């Protein structure tokens, strides 16, 4: 978007995640995994990132996984 903000998007087709089942547990529904987030470069050495994982709800979870990251280099 600009020097300070970045938009992140990732899609994993996960073509083989619904082949294996253990009892009633299967790893996915065959829709793949869609992740998105935004990254803010606070300073040249410090970044803050907010991610939303499995937006299209490929698993049986009732909510979307969220992450907040602080990265220092």
Residue pair 53/66 in contact (Cβ under 8 Å)? The answer is yes
3 — pLDDT class (breaks 50, 70, 90): confident
For the stretch 13-26, pLDDT in tens is: 887 766 656 665 55
Higher-confidence residue of 62 and 33: namely 33
pLDDT at 18: 62
| Contact (Cβ atoms closer than 8 angstroms) between residue 32 and residue 14 | yes
- Within 8 A by CB and 6+ apart from 11, the residues are 32, 33, 34, 35
pLDDT (tens digit, 9 = 90+) per residue, 10-58? 998 887 766 656 665 556 677 888 999 999 999 999 999 999 988 888 7
Burial 22-50 (b: 16+ CB within 10 A, else e): eeeeebbeeeebbbebebebeeeeebebe
């Amino acid at each position: 978007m600009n020097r300070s903000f970045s938009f992140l998007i990732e899609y994993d087709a996960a073509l083989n995640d619904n082949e294996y089942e253990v009892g009633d547990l299967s790893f996915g529904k065959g829709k793949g995994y869609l992740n998105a987030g935004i990254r803010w470069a606070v300073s040249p050495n410090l970044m803050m990132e907010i991610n939303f994982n499995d937006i299209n709800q490929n698993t049986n979870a009732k909510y979307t996984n969220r992450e907040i990251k602080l990265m220092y280099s």
